[in-house]
Structure 1
């Protein structure tokens, strides 16, 4: 099984968006319907969701007008209103506004081996199982000669990815007491601007600090020589460096001491600490040159062990079910990703999709 791939030929934002929306109309529309169901299950009605979508679009237009134009283009191609595509991009913000619980259990590992050797990265991406068909792989050229490749959800401008400047990002959700219903810049747009503009960790941190947000996330930026987990919340932005051994691990709780005071996710989902400990206990495997070995080092199932590899509990409502939908490693020297559809327990050398 592989994820669908789309390669943009248009370079102007609105035209690029329209091209994507036209070719991915069915999947984008399905994503919107899936998120509408998720928001409804969490207690938000259509009028409230529309208001948040319109507000997210306004915030995007103020902070990154070209990305707002691209959203409008996607909507035109998909036969939707711009606010509807903004809803897909702002799903993290809307879930924070609803104060939804249990949203995501991703785990990320980055190891910098030094001596000119490339970073060894891997992450699991967990999300609600009814949205398992949401992801796609998208290649675009935001400016001449600068290529971005991203694993994202159809209609969302970016998530995990790499660029031809030698920078890549991983992506995990966080929750903080300062998260609010006053929607800010969608964190998925921050990820996109980092991929579009940044060639260094310092530049990635600068992009993150420039956005006023209403929901929390961590974007782990990595280059051949450096890495940082950029924790983003309405209360501030912190950049967590690797430890002295070059190891940087992140799950779904804040590591920065000041931001951790407002931690929300771990109070409701304390397994994030257990997963983080599992990663620490398996650093040797996570440092392996071989991506399959790194993915297998992540393998662990709850309830007896850390639930790094998640499977849905169908006795629960859809907003309380999640699944490891992808396992992803970055190949920075090649400017590409290797992506497996599913969790570490299904990984084999032949299941990787190179993009």
Structure 2
């Protein structure tokens, strides 16, 4: 019996190197035959949301760590790897796709920190133009053609109206980050959706803002950008929207791609308030979604984008409009105190259309009545 056990131990020692994980350039290698991978942060699964991309020099996945550490696991269709992630830590490995192409993948852990902004308005301050839908044929066509009044009929308040509308837009098409419409307006987008086309986060923001403007809730498309917006090759930005709710007298963030409204203590939040709540009140933070969007998955995905915020000075709806600018710039970008003013988007695209401010008072002024009427779509 002792000889048998000794023989078994020897065999295990000899076989172990043969079954050890493969390496490439000193890093672990996972095999895969599908470009789609899953991962798990703690107990929260994220399935089908990661694309293996050998074309990138390094594909970085940022992992949220709400406490001091979290267990992370990455799964291809053929292999897996697990390790403990801490804020600031980094783990690299390769994914060998179809036994041919190596994709260098990096997992970076990050914690949560509330950004700092100035509260006082800039002098002289910035001004914005918002849609009032005063006989705007473009918006009237949108509202009537898609029966938008019926979507919000019977809603108890502006919050419920906004939630219903963002849910309606969310359900119109499945997200496709590579497609663009022939024209960037809500009527064209929805017409092409009827033809079977699918679009990006940009189009969810465009259509939701237009739909809300058509029913009398002032809305504006909002661009989010990562801190590393200038040096990140792909996926450095996300587009959603904010709507002004008259009954609450505040701006509120909505995300049409994910069907989301963030809420804290029963009060809907704007983008900056959302960032602060993630950092300071995560346990009390609520993600309202008529589609049941996961709080953990959405917060973990959106958080890196909540660094730079930009909106247009002119948020009227229509096509043939003479758009308001300030010093020749179309947009205002809100950046944290001490942050760099980004001049490039994703390495090669100039960011030359923004004025910059660190003031939330500048960024979150209540809408003023426009003196011009939106121009009808031709």
Q: Which TM-score band (shorter chain)?
A: under 0.3
**TM-score, normalised by the number of residues in structure 1:** 0.23
Structure number with greater Rg is: 2
Q: Give the structure-2-normalised TM-score.
A: 0.22
Bigger fraction of residues in strand:
2
